[in-house]
Amino acid sequence: MDKPIMAKATAVWLVDNTTISFKQIADFCGLHELEVQGIADGEVAQGVKGFDPIANNQLTQDEIDKAEKEPLHKLKLKFNPAAVGEEKRRGPRYTPLSKRQDRPNSILWLVKFHPELTDAQIAKLVGTTKPTIQSIRERTHWNIQAMEPIDPVALGLCKQTELDAAVQKAAKKKAAEGEAMSDDERRKLLSTEQSLGMDTEPKMPTAIEGLETFTLGGEDEEEKKEEPVDADSFFNLPDSDDEDDDDK
């Protein structure tokens, strides 16, 4: 446990009750320095009640005094014997209430554009359940007609690096199983950086492929060359006297 619980509320208390620098508070609470400055200006964490780290056994008064005297001193979380050996709780990814309504749309996007991903991978990416994924795959979801595929990265449900890692893992599994992949599938299984870095190779349409070697009229195009035209021949017109003689 290297960060305090209720980090933002702890930062609010430290801003209101100490003279510790914004940088020290940001490092201790795992926040950005500008975010701590926003707390001090009243623009961030409005209405958040301060959480006393001393009363809650996260900091000592001596540690705070030392940090106030030395601006370069980094606050150290108080040792808590009860936290020794505590493992990180495992479970589905937490999704904020404001974004849960967009979760089915992100599942539809993943199912449509990355069918190689397993239900377990999708569940881990967007924090959902396998029955929900299965209903969207089979288009039996109660709201399937109103759903639109939306990139989960754009919705903030997962990071691009997490999505790329899941796609790469699916690619390795598919390659190990020996399944044939088309060019489009190979491009999908690449990470975003790799896909954007690939050169687009021009391809000749299948319908006209090879026509450049065909012959026209039984003659090779290279052999069929027009004779050069003499421009002076256009100006060698007959004289008027010669025309009169012909009329006679």
> What is the pLDDT of the chain when averaged over all its residues?
75
Strand partners, 216: 219
Rounded to an integer, the average pLDDT of 28-56 is 87
- In this predicted structure, the answer to whether residue 35 has a pLDDT above a threshold of 60 is yes
Alpha-carbon span 150 to 142, nearest angstrom: 18
Q: Which residues lie below 8 Å from residue 40, measured CB to CB, with a gap of 6+?
A: 15, 22
User: Could you give the dihedral angle defined by the CA atoms of residues 37, 40, 45 and 48, in that order, rounded to the nearest 10 degrees?
Assistant: 150
Split at pLDDT 50, 70, 90, the class of 244 is low
Instruction: Dump the DSSP string for 121-159.
Output: HHHHHHT--HHHHHHHHTT--TTGGG-----HHHHTSS-
The share of the chain scoring above pLDDT 90, in percent, equals: 25
Which one has a higher pLDDT value, 226 or 109? 109
| pLDDT tens-place string over residues 193-212 | 555 555 544 444 444 445 44
- pLDDT confidence bin for 183, thresholds 50/70/90: low
More confident residue, 210 or 93: 93
What is the distance between the alpha carbons of residues 58 and 78, in angstroms, rounded to a whole number? 5
pTM: 0.41
pLDDT reported for residue 88: 52
pLDDT, residue 233, reads 58
Averaged pLDDT, 146-157: 89
